[in-house]
Structure 1
Amino acid sequence: MTLAIFDLDNTLIAGDSDHLWGEYLCTQNMVDETQFRAANEGFYADYQRGELDIQAYLAFALAPLAGRSPESLRELQTSFLKDCIEPILLSAAAGLIQEHRSRGDRLLIITATNEFVTAPIARLLGIEELLGCAVEVANGVLTGRPTGTLTYREGKVARLKEWLIEEGESLEGAWFYSDSHNDLPLLEVVDNPVAVDADPTLSHIAQDRGWPQISLRA
């Protein structure tokens, strides 16, 4: 069975769910809007430059969830999907997913965005398997801390290797679709790297290396 691995943000959806979640929290009066929005924008700019401190970002992004049970946040997750994610779904992305499913490939999303935000999105896309930054739960509530291998840059490769061992899978013939130069470490280890609506840095690298470049937004 061949793996078809997908980045999520700005690849399968036409936006960044992590950044959008931060904006959504501001609209729900769960944070200090002015300070939180400014920090959210700053971290997003760091990410785009490839300079994100993932530990610092997760400490910031998960803090509003600390002390809350996952169940108490279900309604918020549902409204976030409806208001922010459904409008940026891509029909071409659904077609690409279905193409790989029809081939019998095993579908996997791997994303730097935390799993609290992305698990419902993966289900919405019809992909059951997800690797993201895991969120710690203790005594029935979110602690506001990440746990395990963080799926950002080289961490995506490390976490994927752990998963391959756990699942008895291999990367032979694997595909990986991404928009971001931050995913270069993983793009370099698969047999079939594909740049999707790539940022300028990744687009130049893909052109130099002869990697396919596609758009799911056309």
Structure 2
Amino acid sequence: MPSPLYIFDMDDTLIDGDCSMLWNQFLVDKGFVKDPDFLTTDQKLMALYGVGKLDMEAYLAFTMQPLAAMPCTKVDELVAQFVAEYVEPRVFKEAQALLADLKAKQIPMVIISATVSFIVTQVAKSLGVEHALGIDMAVIGDHYSAQIVGIPSYRQGKIARLEQWINAQQSDFSALHFYTDSINDLPLCEYADHAYLINPCQQLEQAAQGKNWQIYHWNTRALA
């Protein structure tokens, strides 16, 4: 019998915060970024993301700069440290309980995020989610570059990436259940069979009017 598939956005949905911004804060805190305007620029760009107007290629060109001279193995080590110190304490308690319940019932789950995949994969692993899709960055000379590989999992691209992933599986799914907070995910909300809005932004909440989408307000961190 086909199983449902549960699909999760990551930032501000499972996590109380945006992992891209938290990662940039981590790089500053650990001394890998010296530019005093780095976080201010990041905040301005992410404000555009919040209203669905971010140029993702421009954003990645900016945020990948601090990693240009760092080998992938070093980046991956730092990401593991980052997830443990900056992300795990921000997991919503409600999200943790839901993921644990789905895992116990052996219901397949996938996280799909507009964050770079080398971060999304580590976060998914820490949450016990087997499958994760993020924006894949080309590796050139053992360094992560700012060049996107394939379709970026952003806005409409999330549907394309999800369809690619589903087509690669050896099972059918009875229904698609999608959780998100962001107006950027409106296309995937409309594509899924069931949409669940977690602390939705104002634009997404307005778009949900007249639709049979459930709205939840999660506000408790698992490690609070």
Normalising by structure 1, we get a TM-score of 0.92
**Which residue matches 1:30?**
32
3-state SS of the aligned residue for 1:2?
strand
3-state SS of the aligned residue for 2:64?
helix
Structure 2 residue runs without a partner (length 5+): none
Question: C-alpha displacement at 1:105, in angstroms?
Answer: 1.7
The one-letter code of the counterpart of 1:82 is A
- Which has the larger displacement, 181-190 or 69-78? 69-78
- Which has the larger displacement, 77-86 or 151-160? 77-86
**Which residue matches 1:55?**
57
> Greater relative contact order: 1 or 2 (C-alpha under 8 angstroms, separation 6 or more)?
2
With over 3 angstroms needed to count, the CA separation of the structure-2 counterparts of 1:75 and 1:103, relative to structure 1, is closer
| Sequence identity (%) | 33
- Which has the larger displacement, 205-214 or 8-17? 205-214
**Contact (CA 8 Å) 1:13, 1:89: kept in 2 or not?**
yes
**Contact (CA 8 Å) 1:114, 1:135: kept in 2 or not?**
yes
With over 3 angstroms needed to count, the CA separation of the structure-2 counterparts of 1:171 and 1:206, relative to structure 1, is farther
* 1:148 and 2:150 matched: yes
Q: Distance in 1 between matches of 2:14 and 2:144?
A: 27
Q: How does 1:71-90 map to 2 (within 5 A)?
A: 71-90=73-92
**Which residue matches 1:212?**
214
3-state SS of the aligned residue for 1:208?
coil
**Contact (CA 8 Å) 1:67, 1:143: kept in 2 or not?**
no
- 155, 162, 165: which one pairs with 1:163? 165
* 1:10 and 2:12 matched: yes
Q: Distance in 2 between matches of 1:203 and 1:194?
A: 11
With over 3 angstroms needed to count, the CA separation of the structure-2 counterparts of 1:169 and 1:34, relative to structure 1, is farther
Structure 1 residue runs without a partner (length 5+): none
Q: Which has the higher helix share?
A: 1
Q: Which runs of 4+ in 1 moved over 6 A?
A: none
